[in-house]
A and B are shown apart, each in its own frame.
Chain A
Amino acid sequence: AAKSEFHEVFNGLNLEHIEDGLIQKAFLHTNAETKLETIGFRVGRSLVEKVARDSPKLVTELEIVKFICKEFWVSVFGKQVDNLRTNHQGVYVVQDSRFTTLRTFPEGTQFIKDSAYFLALPCGLIRGALSALNIRAIVTPTVESLPATKFHIQIQQK
């Protein structure tokens, strides 16, 4: 409701060319995807403590990411990732050819747009888990053909 009101005010100001981007930015914190991501982050943070309790100490960044892809992925998404690649400069690409939350989708490219909502929570989970293991990262999903998913993990340097 507030969004449409805002829209009206903006229309009155005759600023069509910038309004859409601005409005989106102004309401970013209340959009559903962001909320789901936040929920995922909280859950990921606390869940990784349970998963990592009995594991040996994780030192390097690669070890932590590997841990996420093996143990954490199994306990949360039910299977291991299919492929993990890195450029050794803080970018990791995790590939899962049958991702849990997309498994009920029909295969193909038809519903890629709708799948974004179903990937926001898992992205948050991964980001939360990494954050609890002392890595700040940006996690973004890409889908080319359902249910295969790629997650890009971009480590933020401290």
Chain B
Amino acid sequence: MSSKTKQNLADSKKMSAELFCLTYGAMVTEMLKDYEDPKDVTIQLDKMGFNMGSRLADDFLAKNANVPRCVDTRQIADVLCRNAIPCYLGVNATVTNWSNGDRDFSIILESNPLTELVQVPPHLISAGLSYSQLIAGAIRGALEAVHFKVFASAVPESSNSNTEIRIRFDQVLKDSIPAGEDD
């Protein structure tokens, strides 16, 4: 039994959550040394997330053939929370705080694998470090790959352990077709 589960861990392309969390933490620490300004680290984390997200979008669509085409933000939020986040982060998420005529919403992660063993110093948060911006960037990248332009940011950790990711829907991107080619 135990050898079987070990085999599964090796084959299913999953990694130990502790290793992931600690490595991410060490990487952020190293980045804080490199960039000096925590705000720049947040920007870099966002970029990294974006690149991850735009690749993950393909993988997600390949794995989940039955996900319907989204026509409004409520559907986007639903797919994110019900399919995408449990699939890649292994945690449950809920949508709340709708505002601005359904254009803004928040995704609350029930637990955040990135911050499991981590305590972010308060002075870094106030200096502009957003530790979980990687996830927000990944959401932004994934949605951009399917032609939704959104702004996403991880709300700095508050007292409760849940992580909130605030998403604002901006526009639907149109395919830019080279001149002379009609669709």
A-to-B contact residues, CB < 8 Å: 35, 38-39, 42-43, 46-47, 50, 74-80, 98, 100, 121
Contacts and interface: CB of A to CB of B under 8 A. Distances in A.
Contact of B16 (A39, A46, A75): A75
Interface of B: 6-7, 9-10, 14-16, 18-19, 22-23, 26-27, 29-30
Nearest to B3: A80
| 5 residue pairs, one from A and one from B, having the closest CB atoms | A78-B10, A79-B10, A39-B26, A43-B22, A78-B9
A78 B14 CA distance: 8
Contacts of B10: 77-79, 98, 100
Describe A's contact surface by its main secondary structure.
helix
10 contacts: A39-B27, A46-B22, A75-B16, A75-B19, A76-B19, A77-B10, A78-B6, A79-B6, A79-B9, A100-B15
B18 A47 contact: yes
Nearest to A77: B10
Contact of A78 (B15, B22, B26, B29): B15
Nearest to B20: A43
A38 B29 CA distance: 11
A43 B19 contact: yes
B21 to A, nearest CB: 9
A42 B22 CA distance: 9
A4 B86 CA distance: 46
B115 to A, nearest CB: 15
A35, A42, A78, A79 — most chain B CB neighbours (10 Å): A78
